[in-house]
Amino acid sequence: MSAKPFYVTTPIYYPSGNPHIGHCYSTVLCDYLARYNRFKGRPVIFATGTDEHGAKLAAAAEKAGVDTLEYIDGFVGNFKKLWTYMNISYDRFVRTTDDYHIKTVQYIFTVLHDKGYIYKGEYQGKYCVPCESFWTDAQLTKKDDKYYCPDCGREVTENRSEEAYFLKMSPFAADIEKMLLESGYLRPENRAKELVNNFIKTGLDDLCVSRTSVKWGIPVPKFEDTSAEHTVYVWLDALTNYISLLGYGNDTFGDFDTFWNNAEVLHVTGKEIMRFHTIIWYAILKGAGVRFPDKLYSHGWIISSDGDKMSKSKGNVLDPFILGGRYGVDAVRYQMLRDMPYASDMPYSNENMLNRINADLANSYGNLVSRTASMIEKYFGGVIPNYIASAETEYGRDLRAKAVALKATVDGLLDYPKVGDALSAVFDVISRANKYIDETAPWVLAKDETKLPELGNVLRNLAEAIRIATLFLAPAIPDTAPKVYDIFGLTGNALSYEYADVFDTIPGNTKVKTTAPLFPRLDVAKEIAYLQET
Ligand code: ME8
C-alpha cells in the first residue's frame, strides 16, 4: 500500500508589514513536518501564502500613499525572501489576489448560496477593524462602558450597518460541538472546551460574509436578489486558500482529490485564530459539501519575557535575519522548535536562546560528532570498525536499544504534533551516547591490544547512534545534517526511514572525515550584549 499523502498548511499571513519571528515559528514548524513526512516517503504538499484583502490593508496602503497592490507586493517579496533564507521547503505559495484563488472563492460562495446556506439580510453590529471581525455585544469584553475585542484586546468603536449576505451557522452548531469535543481535530484538545463555552453555548449567530463598505476584496457574484456591490468577508476569502491551491473550484491545480479527500490534512496556526479554523471553517466546508480536514494544531505564542505577545503592532519583534546571520539558520530553527511547549506559550529571552544553542547543538550534539569522528580517525585510521557481537557490553546494548526505539517515539509524538518533545527525545539518545563515551572510556581501551574489538564496537555504536539521531534532527537542521552524513560517509539505506530503527546499517570500510566544529560555542555574555545593541 502506498503511503497516505500529507498536506500541511501555515496560516496565510497579512502582508501589512515585514514577517517576524512569530510568523517564522509557524512556518518552520510546518517545514519540519513537511520534511519529516517526505523522509517517510509520503507524497507531501506544504503550503503557505499571504492574505491580501480587507479594509486594514487598503487603509495601510492609503496611509503610505501607494497603490494597494504595490504596497502589498513589497511585503510579499519580503516574506518569500525570509522563507528562502530560513530554508523553508514550501511547495505552494498562495496569494489571495491570485486569479485562481478569486475564482474558487466566488465558486464556493455560489455553492453555499445555491444550497440555501447563504442568504441576504442587513448587518448591524460592532466591527473590530484590525481583526476584520464582527462581534455581537455578548461576545465583546465590556469594561467601563467600553467594548474590547476578545481576540486582540483593542477597543471596538465601529458600528456597522449594511446590506449583507449571511452564512447560516445554526444548522452546524451541534456538529461543530461534537467535532470540537470528540473528533480530535483541535490540538491541543484542552482548547476545545473554551471554544464551546464561549461561542457555541452562548448561541451561534449567523455569520456576516459580505461587505458593501469594504472595496478591497473579492467581488461577491451577482445573485437575483443582489442590489449592491459586495465583497467577500476576508475570513471566508482567507480560509478558502487551503483548497483553492489544490484546485477546488478552479482548473489551475488538480490535487484536490489526492491532497484533500484522500490525504491527512493538518492546519497549523497560532491559538488566536482557532475560532476561524474550527467553527467558521466547519460551516463553510460542510455547507459546500466538502470533507472537513483531520487536524488543526493551534500552537502558543512566542512571548517576551514580560509576558507580552511578540507582534508587529507591539513593536517587540525579533528580526530572524539578524539571529540567523549571527548564529546560523539551523540553530535558530532548532531553538524555536525545541523550546515552544506543545500546549502553552514560549517566553523568549536571548539568554535562554543562547544557552539552548550552546547546551544542545554545540556541547551535546556537535561535540559528540567531532569526538566520535576524531576517535575513529585516531584509533582506526578513519575507517568505521565492524561490529563484533561477542565484544558487546551492557552499555552498548543499552545505547542500541535507546537509539532503535527513537523512530517509534518520534512518530508517536509527531502525530500530535509535539515537535519540541520529539527533539527532546532525539537529545535523550545524544545524551545517552555522550554518557556511553564516559562509561566506556575509549582512550583507556585503546591502550590495551586485547580490548580492540570492544573499542571498535564503541565507535561503531557511536557512529550508528549519531546516524539515527541525525535522521530525526535533519528536518530541524537541514543545512547541517548533510554535513554530518558527509563526515560519516553515509548514503543510501543508511539515510532511509526504513533503516532509521536498524543498527549496523553503515557498510564496512566506510571512511570518516574530521571537520571544524558544526556549532561553535557561544560566549553568552558577549552575545547578550551584542543583541542588546542591535
Ligand atoms: O492572522 N508567536 O495573519 P497574521 C507565535 N491572515 N506565532 C505567531 C506569533 C507569535 N508571537 N505572531 C504571529 C492572520 N504568529 C490571518 C490568517 S489564515 C486563513 C489567515 C503566527 O499575519 C501564528 O501562526 O496576523 C499566527 O496565527 C499567525 O502568525 C498570524 O499571522
Residue 274 is assigned to a structural domain of this protein: yes
Return the ligand 1 atom nearest residue 271 CA: 27
Which triple of cell numbers denotes residue 531? Answer: 543583541
pLDDT for 313 equals 59
Q: Are residues 373 and 426 in the same domain?
A: yes
Return the ligand 1 atom nearest residue 10 CA: 24
Number of Cβ within 10 Å of residue 13's Cβ equals 21
234 lines ligand 1 (CB under 6 A): no
Choosing from 8, 13, 279 the residue with most ligand 1 atoms within 8 A of its CB, the one to mutate for a pocket test is: 13
258 Cα: distance to centroid of ligand 1 (angstroms)? 27
Domain boundary among 280, 299, 318: 299
Q: Are residues 209 and 163 in the same domain?
A: yes
What Å distances lie between residue 436 and 257, 439, 455, CA to CA? 49, 5, 12
132 lines ligand 1 (CB under 6 A): no
Q: Are residues 245 and 363 in the same domain?
A: no
pLDDT for 45 equals 99
Which triple of cell numbers denotes residue 373? Answer: 569522528
Residue nearest to atom 2 of ligand 1 (CA): 301
pLDDT for 458 equals 98
311 lines ligand 1 (CB under 6 A): yes
Q: Are residues 95 and 35 in the same domain?
A: yes
pLDDT for 488 equals 98
Rounded CA separation 179/298 (Å): 15
Choosing from 25, 79, 243, 314 the residue with most ligand 1 atoms within 8 A of its CB, the one to mutate for a pocket test is: 25
pLDDT for 310 equals 65
pLDDT for 291 equals 98
Helix 281-288 with 99-114: angle, nearest 10 deg = 70
Edge to edge, the sheet with strand 92-95 lists 92-95, 44-50, 6-13, 264-270, 295-299, 186-187
309 Cα: distance to centroid of ligand 1 (angstroms)? 11
3-state secondary structure 191-243: HHHHHHHHHHCCCCCCEECEECCCCCCCECCCCCCCCCCCEECHHHHHHCHHH
Q: Are residues 30 and 165 in the same domain?
A: yes
pLDDT for 490 equals 98
Residue 324 is assigned to a structural domain of this protein: no
Q: Are residues 261 and 398 in the same domain?
A: no
Q: Are residues 12 and 133 in the same domain?
A: yes
pLDDT for 311 equals 59
Residue nearest to atom 18 of ligand 1 (CA): 11
Domain boundary among 276, 299, 322: 299
Return the ligand 1 atom nearest residue 268 CA: 24
10 Cα: distance to centroid of ligand 1 (angstroms)? 9
Residue 282 is assigned to a structural domain of this protein: yes
What range defines the domain where residue 95 resides? Answer: 6-299
313 Cα: distance to centroid of ligand 1 (angstroms)? 12
Domain boundary among 284, 299, 314: 299
Q: Are residues 362 and 253 in the same domain?
A: no
Q: Are residues 175 and 92 in the same domain?
A: yes
Instruction: Give first-to-last CA distance, the chain, whole Å.
Output: 53
Rounded CA separation 376/394 (Å): 21
Residue 103 is assigned to a structural domain of this protein: yes
Stretches in the chain below the pLDDT threshold 50: none
Residue 67 is assigned to a structural domain of this protein: yes
Residue nearest to atom 13 of ligand 1 (CA): 22
Return the ligand 1 atom nearest residue 272 CA: 27
Q: Is the pTM of this model over 0.85?
A: yes
- Exposed, middle or buried by CB within 10 Å (0-12, 13-18, 19+), for 352? middle
pLDDT for 136 equals 77
pLDDT for 317 equals 63
Choosing from 10, 269, 311 the residue with most ligand 1 atoms within 8 A of its CB, the one to mutate for a pocket test is: 269
424 lines ligand 1 (CB under 6 A): no
- What CATH number did the domain enclosing 78 receive? 3.40.50.620
pLDDT for 312 equals 55
Rounded CA separation 299/418 (Å): 10
Number of Cβ within 10 Å of residue 325's Cβ equals 13
Q: Are residues 291 and 335 in the same domain?
A: no
11 Cα: distance to centroid of ligand 1 (angstroms)? 6
Buried b (16+ CB within 10 A) or exposed e, 442-453: beebbeeeebbb
Number of structural domains (the chain) is: 2
For 340, the enclosing helix (H) or strand (E) is none
Q: Are residues 384 and 240 in the same domain?
A: no
Choosing from 301, 305, 419 the residue with most ligand 1 atoms within 8 A of its CB, the one to mutate for a pocket test is: 301
- What CATH number did the domain enclosing 386 receive? 1.10.730.10
- For the stretch 293-339, pLDDT in tens is 999 999 999 998 777 766 555 665 688 999 999 999 999 999 999 99
399 Cα: distance to centroid of ligand 1 (angstroms)? 41
Q: What average pLDDT is seen over the chain?
A: 95
Number of Cβ within 10 Å of residue 132's Cβ equals 22
Rounded CA separation 205/465 (Å): 56
CA-nearest of 407, 413, 414, 447 to 429 is: 407
Choosing from 23, 57, 101, 274 the residue with most ligand 1 atoms within 8 A of its CB, the one to mutate for a pocket test is: 23
Residue 373 is assigned to a structural domain of this protein: yes
Q: Are residues 289 and 389 in the same domain?
A: no
352 Cα: distance to centroid of ligand 1 (angstroms)? 23
Residue 433 is assigned to a structural domain of this protein: yes
Residue 311 is assigned to a structural domain of this protein: no
412 Cα: distance to centroid of ligand 1 (angstroms)? 27
> How much of the chain is helix, strand and coil, in % rounded to 5?
50, 15, 35
238 lines ligand 1 (CB under 6 A): yes
245 Cα: distance to centroid of ligand 1 (angstroms)? 19
Residue nearest to atom 26 of ligand 1 (CA): 270
